Amino acid sequence: MSNFRLFHDLPTRHYHQLSSMPPAVPTLPLDNLLSPGRDSRTRWLSTSVTVQFAWDSGRVIDSVAAIRGNWSAAATWQLKLWRDADRSLLVYDSGSQSVYPRLGWGEFAWGIAPIGASVYDGWPLKFGVMQFPPLGAVAGELRFDDPGNPAGYLEMARLLIGLSYSPSHNADSPQVYWLDDAKQVRTAGGSLVTVSAVEPYRRGELSYSSLPETDRAALTELARQLGGREDWFGLVWDGAKESRLLMHGAIHAKFVQPPKAIHRARDAFDIPTFSFEEC
C-alpha cells in the first residue's frame, strides 16, 4: 500500500439534495460546506447534527473528510449510505466512531495530556477522515454528536466526499511541514517585533521514482482536473500505525506545483517533486 492517498469531490460536489437537521444558521449556511476557503463555515445551534445528501444518480465513493470543525475530543460521527433515493437499500453503516483519534499508547504523556486527549488538541484546524471499501451510493447521511462541546454549537467549514487514488508504491521521502509568513521588524527603540498577517499553515512535498504508466496517467489527469484551482484532501502517511503521524499528514490542500512526469524507461516514469499547500 502506498503512503500517499488523495481524493476530491469534483464528481460528487453537485448534490441533488443537501440538507441538515437542525437547519444551519442562515448567515452561516449549508452551502458553505462546498467552499474551500477558511473564512466560510457552516454552523448549527446544536451539538447533535445530521447532514443528509443525495445525488441524481449513483456515485462510487470510499472516503469522507469533515474539515475545520470545532469538535471536542469526545465527539462522534456516523456515516450511512443507501443505494436508492428512498433510503431503503442500506449499503454501508460505519457505526458511531470518534471524529478524530485519541492519542494511543506510547503517544499519551501521563500527567501532562488530559485523559482522552486527541491528536488535534490545540490545533486551529481539525479534520475527521473516514475510509471504507469503494461502493456505489445514491444517498447518505452524516450524524455528528458532541454533547459536551464547550461552545454549545457545532460548526464545520468543508465536507469532501469522493473516491480516493493512491499510487502503486511509496513516495520518496514525503514531507509535510509548517510555514509561517511572519516577519521580524525593528522598532525605533530597537526591539524585534514579529508581524504576521496570516495563521501558520502547512506545505507538503512528494516525489516518485519509476512509477508505471497507469500511475503516470492518473497523476497527469489529477493535475489536469485540479491544477491549482480545486481543493482536495490527502493523507501523506496513509496507513501509519501512529495516530499522530497519520493525522499530522492529513491535509486539505491545493497544488502549488502540480505533478508532472519524466519518461525514464519503458513503463517507468519519475515524478519530480510536486508541492501543495493547506487551504
Residue with cell 486551529: 124
Identify whether residues 192 and 125 lie together within a single domain. Answer: no
Of 253, 279, 64, 66, whose CA–CA distance to 158 is shortest? 66
Q: What is the pLDDT averaged over residues 240-247?
A: 68
**CATH number where 61 lies:** 2.60.120.260
Per-residue confidence (pLDDT) for residue 103, from 0 to 100: 60
Spatial separation of the C-alpha atoms in residues 229 and 204, rounded to whole Å: 17
Q: Say whether pLDDT at 38 is over 70.
A: yes
Per-residue confidence (pLDDT) for residue 249, from 0 to 100: 84
Contacts of 107 (CB under 8 A, 6+ apart): 119, 242, 243, 244
Q: What is the pLDDT averaged over residues 211-219?
A: 95
Per-residue confidence (pLDDT) for residue 248, from 0 to 100: 79
Q: Say whether pLDDT at 194 is over 90.
A: no
Q: What cell was used for 135?
A: 461502493
Q: How many domains does the chain have?
A: 2
Confidence of residue 113 (pLDDT cuts 50, 70, 90): low
Residue with cell 501543495: 276
* Lowest model confidence (mean pLDDT) among 160-174, 206-220, 227-241: 227-241
Chain centroid to CA 203: 14
Per-residue confidence (pLDDT) for residue 240, from 0 to 100: 67
Per-residue confidence (pLDDT) for residue 115, from 0 to 100: 54
- Percent of the chain clearing pLDDT 90 (strictly above): 68
Per-residue confidence (pLDDT) for residue 158, from 0 to 100: 96
Q: Say whether pLDDT at 1 is over 70.
A: no
- Is there a domain that residue 170 lies in? no
Identify whether residues 113 and 184 lie together within a single domain. Answer: no
What's the pLDDT tens digit per position in 262-273? 998 888 999 999
Per-residue confidence (pLDDT) for residue 107, from 0 to 100: 54
Identify whether residues 86 and 140 lie together within a single domain. Answer: yes
Q: Say whether pLDDT at 108 is over 60.
A: no
- Is there a domain that residue 169 lies in? no
Identify whether residues 112 and 225 lie together within a single domain. Answer: no
Q: Say whether pLDDT at 22 is over 70.
A: yes
Q: What average pLDDT does the chain have?
A: 89
Domain boundary among 135, 162, 189: 162
Per-residue confidence (pLDDT) for residue 186, from 0 to 100: 85
Q: Say whether pLDDT at 85 is over 70.
A: yes
Q: What is the pLDDT averaged over residues 52-63?
A: 96
Confidence of residue 114 (pLDDT cuts 50, 70, 90): low
Identify whether residues 33 and 151 lie together within a single domain. Answer: yes
Range of the domain at 54: 5-162
- Is there a domain that residue 19 lies in? yes
Q: Say whether pLDDT at 138 is over 60.
A: yes
Tell me the pTM: 0.88
- Is there a domain that residue 167 lies in? no
Contacts of 48 (CB under 8 A, 6+ apart): 143, 144, 145, 146, 147
- Is there a domain that residue 168 lies in? no
Q: What is the pLDDT averaged over residues 138-147?
A: 98
Identify whether residues 198 and 149 lie together within a single domain. Answer: no
Identify whether residues 104 and 207 lie together within a single domain. Answer: no
Identify whether residues 227 and 91 lie together within a single domain. Answer: no
Per-residue confidence (pLDDT) for residue 116, from 0 to 100: 55
Identify whether residues 205 and 262 lie together within a single domain. Answer: yes
- Is there a domain that residue 240 lies in? yes
Contact 205, 275 (CB under 8 A): yes
